[in-house]
Amino acid sequence: MATKIVVIGMGYVGIPAAALLADVDGHEVIGLQRRSKRSGWKIEVLNSGKSPFEGEEPGLDELIARVVKKGTFRATDDVDVIRDADIILIDVQTPTDHQNVPQYLSLREVSANIGKRIKKGALVIVESTVAPGTTQHVVQKIIEQESGLRGGEDFDLAFSYERVMPGKLIHNIVNLPRVIGGITERSTQRAAELYSKICKANIRTTDVLTAEISKTIENAYRDVNIAFANEMALVCESLGVNVYEVIDLVNELPSRMMHIPGAGVGGHCLPKDPWLLRHGLYEYGSWKVEPEFISLARRINNHMPVHMSYLVENALKARGRTVQGSTITVLGAAYLENSDDTRNTPAALLVGTLVAQGADVRIHDPYVQKWEFGPQEIYSDLEEALKGSDCIALVTKHKEYLDLDLERLKQIMRTPTLVDGRNVFDEEEVRNAGFEYRGIGKAGVLRQ
């Protein structure tokens, strides 16, 4: 008899997980997706055997087509499919609000839906990143209240975090180590057995709270290190030194691995997970500890798009212009190269800051079709986006931007200035082409 699996949430985590599980012999997988204006269209796309993602995702298109053709995967909005599920994966978003407090509306709704329909003996796995303590204090409690069953006795529950990123969805699930923490030893082992069928890397088992903490610390660690690199980039700019040369010199020491600065940190994880860690600490910690590093890192990284706007202003000033009345073309709406993912993209704050200063802002992105953060349209034609423009502000390192014809762009732009937020361009080459150049962490900024 086939193992029936329901994956709730057809996003960047749920879709590749569901497709991989559906490719395992003996599995029947259903992707459960709410039919909303924002994402309900994914149901029909998936059932046609296609991926809804516009960015490059090696292997995903072929995998979805294969499992749909085999009849082992389909998508639906019918929550009653939970009733027959042997295994349920929760892959819904867990955003934070403007006060950096987690918003568990979807997580609570899904947990209630599971509780009302779960069958005895089912295994529930939370893959959504949550504040430490949430699996037991929120998900387990809601399922128990709605079902009358007891976690660890009548149903199993585990937390196993994803390490996916756009562009590497399949690769990361299959090839990166998997951490699993259950509320009981049986819960842990059942989850480990499931993931062993799709994960080639090491599977580490622990308790549920340790697994939750590991996920949030993992991303907080990276956020802090990026913030250090960003702060040092500002230091180098002020002193007239190229931070990338400094990074090369520092990283020659084997015990050092300085990160790369840039126009800002985006995505669903890094801007949010440090706050989830803090929330879990505040809610369930034994005493008050103030995590100052992660709070400071968030402020530094959130400032980088604003600093980009300063570099735009500085470059325009060198050519006798102000931001007000200028046309600025932002290259990249997605937060990550070669992806269509705009969640928490630094381009949003940069565009908003420039518009507030009176600029006419155009946005170009080869993968993103719609701008959700304002009235601006996204241009698909690069020359159209740059015609008559006064400044290029590169936010995203899409492959399409790695070999631009600067001589051609100079001819169609009104004012040839370029602000490089991802160290894509050779500064000497850009200046020789007649552009005013500014870059994150590089010399050349006009003194005020």
Can 3-201 and 242-448 be said to share one CATH topology? Answer: yes
Residue 42 has pLDDT above 70, yes or no: yes
DSSP letter assigned to residue 251: T
pTM: 0.94
Would you say domain 3-201 falls under CATH 3.90.76.10?
A: no
The CATH code that applies to domain 242-448 is 3.40.50.720
- The pLDDT-based confidence of 288 (bands split at 50, 70, 90) is confident
Q: Which of 108, 224, 101, 217 is nearest to 161 (CA)?
A: 217
Is 141 designated active site?
no
| pLDDT for the residue numbered 163 | 93
Active site residue: 215, 272, 397, 442, which one? 215
**C-beta neighbour count of 289 within 10 angstroms:** 10
Q: Which two tokens stand for residue 88?
A: 């349920």
What was the pLDDT predicted at 39? 72
- Of 402, 411, 448, 414, nearest to 433 by C-alpha is 411
Mean pLDDT in the chain?
Answer: 96
Q: Please, are residues 8 and 32 in contact by the beta-carbon 8 Å criterion?
A: yes
Annotated active-site residue in 236, 269, 391, 442: 269
Q: Residues with Cβ < 8 Å from 31, sequence gap 6 or more?
A: 6, 7, 10, 14, 15, 18, 46, 73, 74, 75, 76
Q: Which residue ranges make up each domain of the chain?
A: 3-201, 242-448
366-371 long-range contacts, CB within 8 A, separation 24+:
366/398, 366/400, 367/54, 367/55, 367/334, 367/338, 367/339, 367/340, 367/398, 368/54, 368/333, 368/334, 368/340, 368/342, 369/54, 369/340, 371/333, 371/342
Give the model confidence (pLDDT) of 402-433 as tens digits. 999 999 999 999 999 999 999 999 999 999 99
Q: Can you give the pLDDT at residue 36?
A: 75
Tell me whether residue 272 is one of the annotated catalytic residues: no
